[in-house]
Amino acid sequence: MSPSPKDAISFEGYSRQILFLGIGESGQRRIASESAVIVGCGAIGGATASLLARAGVGRLRVIDRDFVEPSNLQRQSLFDESHARDFLPKAVAARQTLCAINSGITIEGVVADLTPENADDLLGGFALVLDGTDNFETRLLINDYAVKNNRPWIYAAAVGSYGVTLTVRPGLTACLACFVEGQPSGAGIEETCDTVGVLGPVVQLVSSLESVEALKLLAGREDALCGRLISSDVWSGRFQSLEIARNPGCRACARREFSYLEGELQPHVTMCGRDSVQIHERSRRLDLQALGARLRSTAESVRHNEFLLRFRVPPYEITVFADGRAILKGSQDPAVARSLYARYIGA
């Protein structure tokens, strides 16, 4: 079938990518007909979303639980000062930017925390899952989902000046649990960006490595996949690639025990940055306007938009989302979090 005039116009934008022999016109057609879901659209997830939107991936979904803050802008390239000023959820701000980058593809922004309960709904139907998260609980949940459903996914992480990526193809390669579970410690990245910081350039590097692996998978060029864990340190200039063997006793890909997906390990209150916790609630819809009106007599600086409501009860700051989740800043104590949630938002 010859391309329609509309195809010809929409393909013109990708001419430099089509000229690249590894992709070509048939690869580009496949990329345009494929889909990917990015879990977390902060630094790495946002940069990956931008590269894949520009590359013409037909359908992209970005999922994020958080909102834009001024301290994000140093490395989170989809956001600007206006997004932070309006305290927009990252998924909403990301969708705005991505739609402005490429109006010819389908882009969805979902404000949610990926959990065992919603993993099927949020990840189902996508050819590829991409890691833009900042924690191992969520990565192992993605890994469980991907292994169980035989879906490829790409692990990507950065902290300080160091980053790693690994493409997981269930049944064919090691999975993340092969690599991080059953080892003393020190496998994977345990420090967080909230304790040791992170440089923008390593984010862009790791995101580039994740995105090119994604393009190979989406273009049908599995033969070109790197097949190794790549680790990079942009400060020291040291780059390494390591063969990761499958673990024949692996909980996930050998024994098929999906404990993260079954929710056994998912706590109700989770750490979320240096001085904050997230309070998960079984999905409930909150009327943010009514809650805001109620809080104005007891809390300070009550502000809300259609996605979230933020207020202060010194020394704490609480942000509550329409699905009932809340992020408490100013404490890491789960008991304090639960008590403030019950008092101000309601059980």
Region from 63-71, 133-141, 172-180, 210-218 binding Zn ion, contact rule CB under 5 A: 172-180
Q: CB of residue 304 vs Zn ion: minimum separation in angstroms?
A: 43
Q: At what angle do helices 24-33 and 200-218 cross, to 10 degrees?
A: 100
Upper half-sphere CA count for residue 26 (Cβ side, 13 Å): 4
| Binding range to Zn ion, per CB under 5 A, among 25-33, 171-179, 286-294, 322-330 | 171-179
Give least dist CB 174 to Zn ion, A: 6
Which of 51/250 has CB closer to Zn ion? Answer: 250
- Burial (Cβ within 10 Å: 0-12, 13-18, ≥19) of residue 82: exposed
CB of 176 to Zn ion, least distance (A): 7
Is residue 189 close enough to count as binding Zn ion by CB under 5 A? no
Give yes or no for residue 166 binding Zn ion (CB under 5 A).
Answer: no
**178: contact with Zn ion by CB under 5 A:** yes
SS3 260: coil
CB 252 → Zn ion: shortest distance, Å? 5
Q: Residue 180, interface with Zn ion (CB under 5 A)?
A: no
CB-CB contact of 110 with 93 (8 Å): no
Residue closer to Zn ion by CB (options 50, 167) is 167
Instruction: Yes or no: say if 134 and 270 are a contact pair by the CB < 8 Å rule.
Output: no
Instruction: Kindly state whether residue 340 participates in binding Zn ion, applying the rule CB under 5 A.
Output: no
Q: Residue 67 or residue 155: which is nearer to Zn ion going by CB?
A: 155
Instruction: Give SS3 for 131.
Output: strand
The distance of closest approach from Cβ of residue 255 to Zn ion in the complex, given in angstroms and rounded to an integer, is 9
- Among residues 36, 44, 175, 327, the one that binds Zn ion under rule CB under 5 A: 175
Tally Cβ neighbours within 10 Å of residue 79. Answer: 23
Nearer CB in complex with Zn ion: 26/183: 183
Residue with Cβ nearer Zn ion (63 or 261): 261
# residues contacting Zn ion (CB under 5 A):
6
CB of 173 to Zn ion, least distance (A): 9
CA angle 118, 113, 218 (to 5 degrees): 75
Q: What are phi and psi of 73, to 5 degrees?
A: -70, -20
Alpha helices in 169-271 (DSSP H): 176-180, 193-196, 200-218
Stretch that binds Zn ion, among 5-13, 19-27, 168-176, 198-206 (CB under 5 A): 168-176
Q: Which is nearer to Zn ion, 18 or 147 (CB)?
A: 147
Nearer to Zn ion, 86 or 257 (CB): 257
What is the Cα–Cα distance from 138 to 136, expressed in whole angstroms? 5
- Residue 138 pairs with which residues in a beta bridge? none
Q: Does residue 309 bind Zn ion (CB under 5 A)? A: no
Starting from the edge strand earliest in sequence, which strands make up the sheet with 269-271, in order?
A: 269-271, 276-279, 326-329, 316-321, 308-313, 300-304
| 253 in contact with Zn ion (CB under 5 A) | yes
Least spacing, CB of residue 250 vs Zn ion, in Å? 3
Q: Considering only 27-35, 101-109, 245-253, 324-332, which stretch makes contact with Zn ion by CB under 5 A?
A: 245-253
CA-angle at 212, arms to 55 and 90, nearest 5°: 65
- By beta-carbon proximity to Zn ion, the closer residue of 252 and 272 is 252
Nearest approach, Cβ of 116 to Zn ion (angstroms)?
A: 18
**Rounded-to-integer distance, Cα 90 and Cα 76, Å:** 10
Instruction: Provide the strand spans (E) within the chain.
Output: 35-39, 59-64, 106-111, 128-131, 153-159, 162-168, 229-233, 238-242, 269-271, 276-279, 300-304, 308-313, 316-321, 326-329
**Shortest approach of Zn ion to residue 216 CB, angstroms?**
21
Residues contributing to the site for Zn ion (CB under 5 A): 175, 177-178, 250, 252-253
